[in-house]
């Protein structure tokens, strides 16, 4: 990562001239923490070698703007209207985000008009006829234990001009969008049209991906819950494998392009013998391929556990004429079923007794409520999103970096992806834990 090339400046709608009601409530601040200023930063790199080199070159150390409440804000909360939309796939923590935004707006700043836009971007388009939900504390106070999103979601592009038309009609001042990379791209386009029209509407993104692969975001909400539940699936696969002769527990987990869930869950439940992720190639056939090494493992130990990320091994499929979902993502071929068939064919040809227990908990994980860690994390994200929007920040996402919550420009993050690096500690520890070695011939 070239830190000196990362854009960190955050756009704003204008000067912040309104004194925050947080400070004025009862004549004193209700916060125990000091207000944050735009000069408060979080270093992008904590590598001492990089920092020393930049200091020697006379270059400023790049830092993200720190998230949190500002003493001076842009909007007058008593006249402000806000909207919240959740887009894309489901993820644990969506309701936690919604609740945190509503509670902070209502009680923290005194904003009384908060709209929930149903079914993602469709909710802004008249032809779909989706109703708007008035979000008040009574509506959201008990939603933490509910999975999914009380606002619903949808995939696929919508006309950006129609979205902005709707924002104008509703007199929205801040739009909060919760979603993945496609949603953040749409949010950036919405903000561009808003700027082109000369409107004063803040667009704040809260990045969502259960895969934890958002660029310049160290941790995304829902990931902790996903690892928790994936660990339970691995425990089940391990016990099944131990119970039968030459039994293989095969678990397919989320991870279209990045194997963070598979790698982390394997370390959390160290009964796994093989971890297959999109970032690391593996062969099926040949002396070092998965099938031959699995055969040796079964002969030596009598059972095995394999964890595979959904995007691994796509090289084994014909991708000509691949279909795409409504968000434009290529619909991946099912590596889990593929491996189950190939392993079965191989062991049958070797006249080996075997059984395969296949587990795919993907959709169950996506729709679950957040666990305790994720719920707390979502609360921070939602409240900091409100602080950013009220201060007039726009085209910004709320991220987590070096154990701090920060403002990241949308342009710096969208269209890029964080991946497991084969040379880094996470993957090297997976190799140490599993002992699988390289599964590539030659």
The residues carrying an active-site annotation are: 211
Beta bridge partners of 303: 247
Adjacency order of strands within the sheet including 41-43: 41-43, 63-66, 404-409, 396-401, 202-207, 174-179, 81-86, 113-117, 132-134
Contacts 24+ apart (CB under 8 A), 31-38: 31/69, 33/68, 35/68, 35/69, 35/70, 35/71, 36/66, 36/67, 36/68, 36/69, 36/70, 36/387, 37/70, 37/71, 38/10, 38/65, 38/70
Query: What is the rounded distance in angstroms from the CA atom of residue 38 to the CA atom of residue 32?
Result: 19
Q: How many residues does the chain have?
A: 442
Q: Which residues, in sequence order, are CB contacts of 198 under 8 Å at separation 6+?
A: none
Q: Is 370 left (phi over 0), alpha (psi -120 to 50) or beta?
A: beta
Q: Which residues, in sequence order, are CB contacts of 64 under 8 Å at separation 6+?
A: 8, 41, 42, 44, 399, 401, 406, 407, 408
Q: Which residues, in sequence order, are CB contacts of 55 under 8 Å at separation 6+?
A: 61
């Amino acid at each position: 990562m070239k830190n000196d090339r990362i854009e960190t400046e955050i756009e704003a709608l204008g000067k912040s001239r309104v004194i925050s009601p947080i400070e004025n409530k009862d004549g004193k601040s209700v916060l125990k923490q000091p207000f944050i200023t735009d000069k408060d930063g979080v270093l992008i790199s904590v590598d001492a070698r990089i920092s020393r080199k930049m200091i020697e070159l006379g270059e400023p150390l790049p830092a993200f703007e720190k998230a949190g409440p500002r003493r001076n804000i842009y909007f007058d909360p008593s006249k402000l209207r806000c909207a919240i939309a959740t887009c894309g796939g489901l993820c644990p923590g969506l309701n936690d985000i919604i609740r945190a935004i509503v509670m902070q707006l209502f009680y923290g700043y005194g904003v009384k008009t908060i709209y929930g836009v149903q079914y993602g971007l469709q909710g802004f388009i008249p032809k779909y006829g989706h109703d708007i939900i008035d979000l008040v504390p009574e509506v959201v106070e008990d939603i933490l234990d509910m999975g999914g999103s009380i606002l619903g979601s949808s995939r696929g592009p919508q006309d950006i001009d129609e979205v902005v038309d709707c924002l104008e009609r509703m007199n929205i001042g801040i739009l909060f969008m919760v979603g993945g990379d496609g949603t953040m791209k749409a949010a950036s386009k919405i903000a561009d049209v808003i700027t082109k029209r000369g409107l004063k509407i803040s667009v704040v993104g809260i990045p969502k991906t259960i895969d934890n692969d958002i660029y310049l975001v160290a941790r995304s909400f829902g990931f902790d819950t996903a690892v928790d539940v994936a660990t339970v699936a691995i425990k089940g696969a391990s016990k099944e494998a131990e119970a039968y002769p030459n039994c293989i527990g095969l678990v397919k987990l989320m991870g279209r392009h990045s194997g963070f869930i598979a790698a982390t869950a394997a370390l959390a439940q160290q009964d796994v013998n093989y971890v297959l992720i999109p970032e690391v190639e593996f062969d099926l056939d040949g002396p070092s391929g998965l099938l031959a090494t699995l055969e040796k493992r079964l002969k030596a130990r009598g059972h095995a556990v394999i964890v595979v990320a959904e995007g691994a091994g796509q090289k084994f499929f014909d991708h000509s004429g691949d279909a795409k979902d409504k968000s434009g993502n290529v619909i991946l071929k099912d590596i889990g079923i593929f491996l189950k068939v190939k392993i079965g064919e191989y062991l049958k040809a070797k006249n080996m007794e075997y059984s395969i227990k296949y587990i795919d908990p993907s959709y169950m994980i996506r729709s679950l409520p957040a666990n305790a860690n994720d719920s707390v994390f979502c609360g921070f994200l939602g409240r900091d999103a409100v602080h950013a929007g009220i201060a007039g920040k726009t085209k910004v996402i709320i991220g987590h970096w070096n154990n701090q919550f920060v403002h990241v420009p949308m342009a710096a993050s969208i269209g890029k992806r964080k991946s497991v690096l084969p040379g880094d500690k996470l993957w090297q520890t997976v190799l140490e834990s599993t002992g699988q070695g390289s599964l590539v011939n030659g």
